[in-house]
Structure 1
Amino acid sequence: MGGHKFHGDMARLDNPRRKEILPVEPVIEVLGGIKDGLAVADLGCGTGYLSVPLAKHLDGHGTVYAVDINPKALEVLKEKAAGIDNILALQSEENKFPIESRTIDVSFMVAVFHELDDPSSFLMEIRRISKPFHQIVVVDWSDVQGEMGPPMSERIPEKDVIKFFKDR
């Protein structure tokens, strides 16, 4: 693990082709019914590819904690989220999030797992910020060559990601 961190052209994160390959609607549907006060973390949010649609989806019913280590990406997110009151853009370290313990109901990791230097420490930090009943949603690049995404050497087979979470 420990692939490169994305520091490229931020426009690539909102590429229309990416939206075809990875539409956000099915990811958001994982939430199911929304209860008031829902706290959602988008860990490794980048420019808000998921955070902004999530915040709009939760409008009036919950808060999105958009967390990333890249301050440039967070600046783009803040521009995109102008006028959206239920999104908090937070700069973090990889394994230390500026979120109080036992705050989050659902954590999303979209195209993040393959970049982690220390997945176990990352998971421990998710546990710290999570309420006792919590969901973690992981969406990442498959280990099949495609037209987008990280190099094959950095992709992690789905079975290995599932095993990681089951073993912990």
Structure 2
Amino acid sequence: MRTLALGAGIYLAAGVLLFAQAGTAHPVSGRIIAGVMGHEGAPWLERPEREAEERPSLAIKELRLEPGMVVADFGAGSGYYTERIARAVGPTGKVLAVDLQPEMLEMVGRRAKKAGLTNIELVRSTPEDPRLPTGAVDLILMVDVYHELGSPQRVLRAMKAALSPRGRIAIVEFRKEDRDVPIREEHKMSVKQAEQEFGAEGLVLDRRVDSLPWQHLLLFRVK
């Protein structure tokens, strides 16, 4: 069974509900906050067709990661991106795998151990606090996560404080501007919405990547 949410359908895989009901709170842009994916949905993150549908290898390339960087994979989930980032920043770098759900962090820990990666640190966040070190993170990445944050403005403020002088916040989000992207509307974001919400916290769009099949990759910096 497909796990993408088509039209008004619900997210299902093998009969398991993957996403909670969408919320009703409105951030600065006025969009509806989407429901959060539970740890039961982790297999969807690891689906074999993900590379063809989303091109995560291209997204990693466009992040321009360098050895020695400190990167936070916020909403790390099963560690799909975490592992790839850890390899890119190398043993002199560090990846902070951040997630609300301890079950997800356990998956990341097992993955790191199996891959022999020692540069991954597990961080359990709260709905309003990413628990990142002040002024120390070179890149904060959120892949299909930002639109689910219950308190996006508060989280952005905390993330801004965590950035190093060269720090950026990157989001990968399904394009709301594209009707052909087969994802429910509340799980999409437009560039305009992102700029409104990040702009309200003193962050500006630094670079925009539109070469992914279904998603925007947007990188923001402090004004």
TM bracket (short chain): 0.7 to 0.9
Which one has the bigger helix percentage? 1
- Following TM superposition, by how much is the alpha carbon of 1:24 offset from its aligned partner in structure 2, in angstroms? 2.2
The answer to which structure has the higher strand fraction is 2
The alignment status of 1:64 with 2:134, answered yes or no, reads no
| Cα distance, 1:113–1:99 mapped onto 2, change above 3 Å | closer
For structure 1, the 5+ residue unaligned runs are: none
Paired residues of 1:34 and 1:61 also in contact (CA < 8 A): no
Structure 1 residues 33 and 75, CA gap change in structure 2 (3 angstroms):
closer
Answer yes or no: is the 8 Å Cα contact 2:144–2:173 preserved in 1.
yes
Whether 1:108 and 2:141 are equivalent positions in the alignment is yes
- Opposite residue 185 of structure 2, the aligned amino acid is M
| Distance across 2 between alignment mates of 1:96 and 1:90 | 11
SS at match of 1:81: helix
Of 94-103 and 113-122, the range deviating more from structure 2: 94-103
The count of residues paired between Structure 1 and Structure 2 equals 165
TM-score for the superposition, normalised by structure 1: 0.88
- 1:143-154 alignment, distance < 5 Å: 143=176, 144-147=179-182, 149=183, 151-154=184-187
Unaligned stretches of 5+ residues in structure 2: 1-31, 202-223
The C-alpha deviation readout for 1:114-140, integer Å capped at 9, x for no partner, is 101121101011012211331111101
TM-score (norm 2): 0.68
Deviation, 1:34, is 1.7
- Secondary structure of 1:132's match? strand
Matches within 5 A, 1:118-157: 118-143=151-176, 144-147=179-182, 149=183, 151-157=184-190
Paired letter, 1:137: A
More RCO (CA 8 Å, sep 6+): 1
Question: AA paired with 1:74?
Answer: L
The CA RMSD over aligned residues, in Å, is 1.8
Q: Partners in 1 of 2:63 and 2:189 — Cα distance? A: 25
Stretch moving more, 45-54 or 154-163: 154-163
d(CA) in 1 for partners of 2:65, 2:180: 35
Distance 1:130 1:80 in 2: 26
Q: Which runs of 4+ in 1 moved over 4 A?
A: none
Deviation at 1:167, TM superposition (A): 3.7
Query: Match of 2:195, SS?
Result: helix
Counterpart secondary structure, 1:79: helix
- 1:47 deviates by 0.7
**Aligned partners of 2:152 and 2:130: how far apart in 1?**
14
Q: Who is 1:74 aligned against?
A: 105
In the alignment, does 2:42 pair up with 1:16?
Answer: no
